[in-house]
Chain A
Amino acid sequence: MAKSKRNLGDVTGGIRMKQIENFVKHTFKDVPKEKRQEIIPIVTESLIEKVEDLMEKGYTEQDAVDQTVLEFGTAEDYFGRERPFAKFRRKTLKHYRNDFLFSLFGALIIIAMLVFTNLYYTGDIIWFVLPAIAVLWWPLAVLYRFLNKRVSERGEDNE
C-alpha cells in the first residue's frame, strides 16, 4: 500500500514537473538556444520549489501550479531591458512595412478583378464598390499596425 502511495506521488510529481517545464519552455521559446538551455533548468527548478512550498501551505497541486505560473511573469520581465531575443523573432518596422505593401498590392489585385468581373458581366449595374470597400479594410488594418509600430519604436528610441 505504502509502495502504491509513493508511486502515485511520483506520478503526480512527474506531471507537475512536466507542466512547469512546458510553461518555462514556452515562456523562453524565442530566446537563442544556448541561453535557453542555461535558463530553463534553473527556472524550472525554482518554480517547482515554489509549487512544493505552496503545497506545504495547503494548496492543491493544481492550484499551486496555476499560482506559480500566474505569478512568474514573462521573458521580458526576466531579461528586463537586455532583450537578447529581440533580434531573433521580433518583427521590425521593415516587416510591418512589407506586410502593408503586400496587403496593398493584394487588395488592389482583388479590386481590379472585382471591377473587371463587374464591368464585363454586369456592366449595367455597378456593384463592385461595396466588396471593394470591404477588401480595403485589409490594407487599412495592416497600415494601422504599421503606424502603431512606428510610433512605439520612436518612443523606445526616445527613452
Chain B
Amino acid sequence: MIHSDVIRGHLETIILKLILEKDRYGYEISRCIKERTNEQFIMKEASLYSIVQRLEKKGLISSYKGEKSHGGKRRYYKITPLGRAYYKEKLKEWQSLREILGMLLEESE
C-alpha cells in the first residue's frame, strides 16, 4: 500500500488523465484509481472531491449533469482545453522527475 504523501503532488495529474480518457463522475474516478492500482493506492474520497473542486475552480475541468442513474442525474467532469495543456505540462514534469529519480536512486551496475 502506497502512502498518499508520496503521491500527493501528482494527484491532480492522475485525475486529469482519467478525465482525459473519458468524462467521469466523482466516484467513478475513485473506483478507477482503486482498480488500476490493484488496490495498492486507495485515495481518500475527501481528497479526491477536494482536488476535483480545485481543478474545476482553476478551469481545468468542467462539469455537467449526465445520464440518469438509480436515483438522480450524475455530475460528470470533462476536461477543458486548458486542462489538456496543463496535463501535458505535468506529464513532461513527471517524466523528467522519473528520470532524475532513476539517476539518483537506481543501483548502478
Contacts and interface: CB of A to CB of B under 8 A. Distances in A.
Which among B50, B71, B72 has the greatest number of chain A C-beta atoms within 10 A?
Answer: B71
Contact of B27 (A13, A53, A77): A53
B69 A43 contact: no
Contacts, number: 66
B27 A79 contact: no
Interface of B: 8, 25-28, 30-31, 44-47, 49-50, 53, 69-72, 74-75
B69 A78 contact: no
Given A52-B70, A55-B70, A80-B8, A43 B49 contact: yes
A49 interface: yes
A78 B72 contact: no
Contacts of B53: 39, 42
A78 B71 contact: no
A46 B71 contact: no
21 contacts: A13-B71, A27-B46, A42-B49, A42-B53, A45-B75, A46-B27, A46-B45, A46-B75, A48-B71, A50-B27, A50-B30, A52-B72, A53-B27, A53-B28, A71-B45, A72-B44, A72-B45, A73-B44, A73-B47, A78-B46, A78-B50
A48 B72 contact: yes
Interface of A: 13, 16, 27, 39, 42-43, 45-53, 55-56, 71-75, 77-80
Contact of B69 (A16, A47, A53): A53
Nearest to B69: A52
A49 B44 contact: no
The 10 A-B residue pairs whose C-beta atoms are closest, nearest first, are: A73-B46, A73-B44, A77-B46, A46-B26, A78-B46, A50-B27, A52-B70, A77-B44, A52-B71, A78-B50
